Structure 1
Amino acid sequence: MPTLYLLKTFSDSTFSLDVLIGEDDMTEHVDVVVAGGGPVGLMLAVELRLAGVAVTVLERRTDIDPTIKAGSLNSPTIQALYRRGMLPELEAARDENMRQFAAFAAQRSGGGGPAIPRFAGHFGGVMLDRDTIDQDDPVLVEQAHLGTLGLVSQQQFESMLERRARDLGVDVRRGVTLTGFHDTGDGVTVDTDSGTVTAGWLVGCDGGRSLVRKQAGFDFPGTAPEITAYQAMATLRGTEALEVGWHVTDTGVYAYGPHPGRILVAEFDGAPRDRTEPVTPAELQAAVRRVTGVDVGVDAITSATRFTDNARQATEYRKGRVLLAGDAAHVHSPFGGQGLNLGVGDAVNLGWKLAATVRGWAPDGLLDTYTAERHPVGEWVLDWTRAQIAIMRPDPHARAIRAVVADLASRGDGATYLATRISGVWQRYDLPGEHPLVGRSAPDLAFADGSRLADHLHDGRALLVDLRDDAGLRRSADGYADRLTVLTATADDTDLRALLVRPDGYVAWAATDAADTGPDKYLGLWLGAPVGD
């Protein structure tokens, strides 16, 4: 019997999706296929969908990966979610985690162990005391109103992103594996174990062993691994002698807490021999005992993973119609939780630029600025994690350097420097423009009507803020109504007259006095030609 087909068209005010369904095959066309439905892929999908792009996310896992991973979000990630209206969800996740932290502290105190210290992160296991950091540092003050919202697990983060993506109409397909693709020059044919999808673009967010990166032929140079490490949630006994927090020993490094049963150990004996087989209780128990010197028992494992410090970065993030983001573009050790946050930064930077390209208003070279802006940040993170590995090594030279770093971290200036780097508040892009705010994350101005700047970025559009009721300034935005919001407002505690904020929340232009050059040049640079030109 011949195969029967039905052509259906789904549409709304922003896009249409053609689906050809057969009895044993399915071919579709969408604007963008995202390979990988982890936090990076989902964040990218949210950004694309806000701009009206038809996007399909392919994820081989049927459920969110329960393996223990990142446990905190840095300032750029929190800002990105805040600007998209996700603050209540962050607060709920934070509150739940704080309850768990309090329970762990009570358990340790009742057993004679120490309470959890007030720390603000760590560098190579050297913990930073929050009370030592200069909270009046201008860079930190700028983010102070966001508080401790970074205490969110990767699973919580992924859950909220998936809910948001589905609410926006993103086509998230779990249990579907990408098997190959072909860049045709004007699009990409994507093969999966459930059929074929054709798309204008393919973005690989498929992790450190990315099939997209490998098949597209991206160069991926870097440094070889030297550690075998385990991170797990397990049922442990005999933990009374384990100290909470990070500690170095004669054989490696371990961290215990801040949840009951959470343990990390690292040994400097080369890369894991096998990263695919499940971690057994016996294997984890042996590693914990070797590193800690404590006869801890491991009765059961809730989740566990092996990892290493392989550090590599793609030399470019785009080849033709194929792009990379997250671990597909860069891998490194997870110490300090930089990887998840680095990948989210990639997604937020890429999303609006790819959407502008799909929708046809992107100025020449806009998509190339993705690599130009994000590659240096990724390069810094790789070196930051390499430096942490260097002071963790159990040799006399490394321990001598570690003592110097620990001494610096115990002092106000040193602790503040490390805190600003760990938090990510230092990040900026090298953008054209004279004002010191250009290239920085936009200040979260508090307006007289009670709103803040972030409240006006929920829709993912660029924002031109007029703080002096300047009709001439507003006229410069004529022709950009489809991609730019113009806000006339007043704000205290700022000498700014006007501000142009890109969709990703970074400042493209700013003015403080009437003699400043207007935004016309920068509107064209980032938002292309106005409608009618």
Structure 2
Amino acid sequence: MERIVIVGGGPVGLWLAAELRLHSVPVAVLEAREHPDPHSKALTVHPRTLEIFACRGVVEPFLAEGVHIPSGHFAALRERLDFRGLDTPFPFTLSLPQARTEELLEEHALGAGAEILRGHCVTGLEQGADAVELTVEGPGGEQRLRAAYVIGCDGTRSIVRRAAGIDFPGTPASLRAWLGDVVLDAPPPEPSFSGPHGHLMVFPLPGGVSRVVGNDPETLRVPHPGELTFEELRANVARIAGTDFGMRDPSWLSRFGNTTRQAAEYRKGRVLLAGDAAHMHFPAGGPGLNVGIQDAANLGWKLAATLHGTAPEGLLDTYHAERHPVGEELLLTTRAQAALMTTYSDEGRALRTLVGHLIATVPEFARTLAERVSGLSVAYPPAPDTSAPDAPAHPLTGRRAPDLRLGGGTSLFGLLRHGRHVLLDLTGKRSGRCPDAVFLSARLDGSRDAWSRVRAALIRPDGHVAWASDEADAEARGREVAAATVRDRRGVPVARSRSTAAARP
């Protein structure tokens, strides 16, 4: 099998490499940096990302090292989103510097057998009918590399995206904010501050460091305010909060803007994009790393099936079809937060007050926002059922499957560790096997309203429901299971997205 080349050795590229190695796909990661970046742009790991790590059995080191925060923010409002009621084993955000996240993911990728080549910069590519030729500058000079597919995980300035001729439409920066990683001798009891002099948030990091992020009306729309200095950061914080919290020992200072762009295509022939190469946005709530890893989770098993020759027709194209709308929603959400976080007009302050009040007093509204920013609300449209095109899909089809607790102490996330489909018979009465899928017959341990009538379900390797049935009759259900997992001529289970309960009069 010809190898896959991933360009970019950040969290997204490393996770994708490990996902491909789970299916024995040869993969090389090309990273232009000779050494890991010590500065951490991202530091928030969301609940859905932790679930993805748990589905591969690698979540424990992250949980052990990160700071658990049982809430999240929307637009830096004082009223926090409470994650404790979310249906997940990880009802919190995890504060962990990206530098450490990359170290853990690199260990995982290397342990899976991925090849990581540092100091290798891609300068061009040419697509052919059955391969991609890359021009690479490395320690030994220029060389040509051949790959079956190339995935650009090389950030917002993606060389792969440009070389492949993929458009990146959007809007340039119209405002700027700032951040600093510092030690605070007197950290604040509340994480958010807002007033006429600016908006400010303070996040705890491991090692006694805090990240201070904010914006102020004086520098918000200055085109080029220059490099951020420690004196400016300290003065900004003191002006907004009334104190600098004993700020000292800065380890990183930076500015950032609200440039917003999305790749027109996530796939062009044998070139695909994931992470920041596919979407660029204001970093409100830290979604970038998380959405990127979720891109990789969606792409990995589909690309592996394509390479093994077991993918049904068009499977790889569903990567764009499923993830591009998620990227659109990401841009919508971050744009809305940027507007709220950078407003200083009377009307803008009134809007912030109103949204904060709704979060505090309308549980349904707060939960919807919490599920959205945590990544738990992502659902994909069901694939059409060619055998019964008029039959409605089961309500669970396309939704993320929670960590179902099954008889004997088994959990769904544990069953997904090998990256295969999982077929569940939830009647606990049937035994058997399903080719190309993990099979388990068991009853749910505990109650879940959405799953109370489900008798069987097929779960994709990325943890989303491919098919589910409420059929109570064992013989009829057996026929549905056979149809749902029918193997096409290349041998992969095909989900049939049918709800017999909905179809019955």
TM-score bin, normalised by smaller chain: 0.7 to 0.9
Structure 2 counterpart of 1:126: 77
CA gap 1:435/1:58 in 2 versus in 1, 3 angstroms: same
- Counterpart of 1:498 in structure 2: which amino acid? A
- Shift in Å, 1:235: 4.8
- Counterpart of 1:405 in structure 2: which amino acid? V
**Mapped contact 1:281–1:298 kept (Cα < 8 A):** no
CA gap 1:265/1:498 in 2 versus in 1, 3 angstroms: same
Structure 1 counterpart of 2:163: 215
- Shift in Å, 1:445: 1.9
**Mapped contact 1:247–1:255 kept (Cα < 8 A):** yes
Q: Which of 415, 423, 428 is residue 374 of structure 2 equivalent to?
A: 423
Structure 1 residues without counterparts, runs of 5 or longer: 1-14, 16-29, 99-117
**Mapped contact 1:68–1:232 kept (Cα < 8 A):** no
Cα distance in structure 2, aligned partners of 1:451 and 1:52: 26
Find the residue that maps to 2:408 and give its secondary structure.
coil
Structure 2 counterpart of 1:529: 490
Is 1:35 matched with 2:10?
A: no
Structure 2 counterpart of 1:191: 135
Q: Which of 182, 185, 208 is residue 234 of structure 1 equivalent to?
A: 182
**Mapped contact 1:272–1:308 kept (Cα < 8 A):** no
- Shift in Å, 1:265: 2.0
With 248-257 and 458-467 compared, the bigger mean Cα shift is at 248-257
Structure 2 counterpart of 1:60: 32
Cα distance in structure 2, aligned partners of 1:338 and 1:134: 19
Structure 1 residues 393-412: aligned runs within 5 Å: 393-412=343-362
- Shift in Å, 1:408: 0.6
Task: Calculate the TM-score normalised by the size of structure 1.
Answer: 0.80
Find the residue that maps to 2:65 and give its secondary structure.
helix
**Mapped contact 1:68–1:305 kept (Cα < 8 A):** no
- Shift in Å, 1:474: 4.4
- Deviation track 1:33-69 (CA, whole Å, cap 9, x = no partner) reads 1111111111111111101111101112233322233
RMSD of aligned alpha carbons: 2.8
- Counterpart of 1:519 in structure 2: which amino acid? V
CA gap 1:282/1:197 in 2 versus in 1, 3 angstroms: farther
- Shift in Å, 1:129: 4.2
Cα distance in structure 2, aligned partners of 1:458 and 1:31: 23
Structure 2 counterpart of 1:458: 417
Q: Which of 320, 340, 352 is residue 289 of structure 2 equivalent to?
A: 340
Task: Calculate the TM-score normalised by the size of structure 2.
Answer: 0.84
- Deviation track 1:86-114 (CA, whole Å, cap 9, x = no partner) reads 132222123xx35xxxxxxxxxxxxxxxx
Q: Which of 480, 485, 489 is residue 518 of structure 1 equivalent to?
A: 480
- Shift in Å, 1:311: 1.0
Find the residue that maps to 1:518 and give its secondary structure.
helix
**Mapped contact 1:349–1:504 kept (Cα < 8 A):** yes
**Mapped contact 1:54–1:170 kept (Cα < 8 A):** yes
Cα distance in structure 2, aligned partners of 1:53 and 1:62: 25
State the identity as a percent: 40
- Shift in Å, 1:293: 6.2
Cα distance in structure 1, aligned partners of 2:102 and 2:84: 32
Q: Which of 245, 250, 254 is residue 305 of structure 1 equivalent to?
A: 254
Cα distance in structure 2, aligned partners of 1:360 and 1:274: 53
Cα distance in structure 1, aligned partners of 2:37 and 2:135: 23
Is 1:159 matched with 2:103?
A: yes
**Mapped contact 1:93–1:156 kept (Cα < 8 A):** no
- Shift in Å, 1:294: 5.0
Find the residue that maps to 1:163 and give its secondary structure.
helix
- Counterpart of 1:501 in structure 2: which amino acid? I
Structure 1 residues 1-400: aligned runs within 5 Å: 30-94=2-66, 97=67, 120-129=71-80, 135=85, 140=86, 142-143=87-88, 145-148=89-92, 150-194=94-138, 195-235=143-183, 244-259=190-205, 260-267=209-216, 269-270=220-221, 273=224, 279-285=228-234, 287-288=236-237, 294=243, 300-392=249-341, 393-400=343-350
**Mapped contact 2:235–2:244 kept (Cα < 8 A):** no
Structure 2 residues without counterparts, runs of 5 or longer: 384-391, 493-505
Which consecutive aligned stretches of 4+ in structure 1 deviate over 6 angstroms post-superposition? 295-298
Structure 1 counterpart of 2:464: 506
Find the residue that maps to 2:409 and give its secondary structure.
coil
Cα distance in structure 1, aligned partners of 2:270 and 2:236: 45
- Shift in Å, 1:443: 3.0
Find the residue that maps to 1:33 and give its secondary structure.
strand
Cα distance in structure 1, aligned partners of 2:243 and 2:407: 59
Q: Which of 384, 392, 400 is residue 441 of structure 1 equivalent to?
A: 400
- Deviation track 1:358-386 (CA, whole Å, cap 9, x = no partner) reads 11111111011001101111111111111
Find the residue that maps to 2:264 and give its secondary structure.
coil
CA gap 1:274/1:217 in 2 versus in 1, 3 angstroms: farther
Cα distance in structure 1, aligned partners of 2:260 and 2:204: 27
Count of matched residue pairs: 464
Cα distance in structure 2, aligned partners of 1:376 and 1:252: 33
- Shift in Å, 1:300: 4.3
Q: Which of 437, 461, 480 is residue 484 of structure 1 equivalent to?
A: 437
**Mapped contact 1:251–1:291 kept (Cα < 8 A):** yes
With 430-439 and 382-391 compared, the bigger mean Cα shift is at 430-439
Structure 1 counterpart of 2:499: none
- Counterpart of 2:361 in structure 1: which amino acid? R
Cα distance in structure 1, aligned partners of 2:27 and 2:119: 17
CA gap 1:282/1:297 in 2 versus in 1, 3 angstroms: farther
- Counterpart of 1:164 in structure 2: which amino acid? H
With 179-188 and 327-336 compared, the bigger mean Cα shift is at 179-188
- Counterpart of 2:22 in structure 1: which amino acid? L
- Deviation track 1:169-192 (CA, whole Å, cap 9, x = no partner) reads 100112222222111232111121
